Amino acid sequence: MRILHTSDWHIGRTFHGHSTLDALRGVLEELTSQVRTHGVDVVIVAGDVFDSATPAAGCYTLLSDTLRGLADAGATVIVTSGNHDSAARLGFQAGLLRDGIHVLTDPDAVGTPLTVSDADGPVHFYGIPYLEPALLRHRDDGWANARTQAAVLGHAMDRIRTDLAVRGGRSVAIAHCFAAGVEPTPSLERDIQQGGLDIVPLSTFDGVDYMALGHIHGRQQLSTHVRYAGAPLHYSFGEGDKPRGSWLVDLDETGLRSVEWLALPVPRRLVTLRGPLAQILTDAAHAEHAEAWVCVEYTDDLPEPDPLRRLQARFPFCARVVHAPAAARARDTLTYVDRVRAARSDRELVDAFLTHVRDGQGASDREAGVLDDVLADRVREKAVA
């Protein structure tokens, strides 16, 4: 059986104020084409289908079009909810969906598989929707004592292993969580549990032939059979160096046979440029980035006026500007009042003000010359008066 593992579509997410719907539509159309080309039997979407619990109407349209396209390509589609999704909104129309499209959001169904058969027999797909421990404590079916994501996923996997021991056959499980062993990455855009990360031990996922995970936006392999596919689109500059795509998983009659990475196109490259603002604005080497999403970290000692407008004149898709001085200045503990009291002249008083508002950076040589001239004129005016 051939399975495509994808996740974290985040339909409706913006990129620094820009809509990503059109770009995501193009990428998901390519993913659908890959499903057809590679003869995929089952497509797994491991959570965070939407970016918001209250997606706009256009987000539902894109989801419906994509699910229909995947089914028309010949695949059974299995979707679970993530921490960004509203399980109720994602799953409300599950009973109305056409045959071959399954949206799994019900905690009561954890441990009951969706079974798809091929020439080698059945494959049992166990979907685990994102489960918030605080919302499960009132239940009396084993969830009440699960007070962390690790405990919730442990209980869910226990249910799966218990069912699988009776049912037998090959198996795939799907979950949305932060698993131990993942590499630190800025693409983890927010904690899966308020107050800090709740890490799920890798051993939690023992007992199935393949574990399809979502939540991390970059592809990662935690073991041969436990993997993250990452997001199909870049959603932050921190993800710019991470490939986009999905895992193509093949099962034979005994279990996992092979896993291959299928790359997806990147609609617009992401690049981060660092250096003095004037250099970034004029360096011919940066001409190749004219059509990329650009983040600029300019290293001038002092903030420059209107840097975003100036940069967008050269890089129309400059989306982020950060003032990052090349040398961090040592901080002192003097307050503004302390600096004023220590000043012995008007010149020192002005410099104290500049040092305070510029985070330790006083007047430059050019500014010092101007200040000396102005203060000298002031002294002469007083003398004449």
Looking at residue 49, what DSSP letter applies?
-
pLDDT for position 194: 36
The number of beta carbons lying within 10 Å of the beta carbon of residue 336 is 12
CA distances to 24, 56, 135 from 264, rounded to whole Å, are 11, 25, 37
CA atoms within 13 A on the CB side of 26: 8
H helix runs in the chain, sequence order: 21-37, 57-72, 87-91, 149-167, 277-282, 307-314, 336-342, 346-357, 365-384
Complete domains list, the chain, with CATH: 2-263 (3.60.21.10), 270-323 (3.30.160), 336-384 (no CATH)
CA atoms of 188 and 179, how far apart (whole Å): 12
pLDDT tens for the chain, residues 1 to 385: 999 999 999 999 999 999 999 999 999 999 999 999 999 999 999 999 999 888 999 999 999 999 999 999 999 999 999 888 876 667 655 555 678 999 998 888 999 999 999 999 999 999 999 988 877 777 767 777 778 888 899 999 999 999 999 999 999 999 999 998 765 554 444 444 433 457 899 999 999 999 999 999 999 999 999 999 999 999 999 888 899 999 999 999 999 999 999 999 999 999 999 999 999 999 999 999 999 999 999 999 889 999 999 999 999 999 999 998 876 555 556 676 776 677 677 777 777 777 766 666 677 767 777 777 777 777 666 766 6
Closest CA to 214 of 252, 251, 187: 187
Residue 254: left if φ>0, alpha if ψ -120 to 50, beta else—which one?
Answer: alpha
User: Can you give the pLDDT at residue 182?
Assistant: 66
d(CA 312, CA 370): 32
pLDDT of residue 46: 97
> Considering just the CA atoms, what is the radius of gyration of the chain in Å?
28
217 within 8 A of 242, measured Cβ to Cβ: yes
How far, in Å, CA of 163 to CA of 166, rounded? Answer: 5
Q: Quick check: helix, strand or coil at residue 76?
A: strand
Residues 201, 150: Cα–Cα separation, whole Å: 7
Strands 199-200, 226-228: pairing kind: unpaired
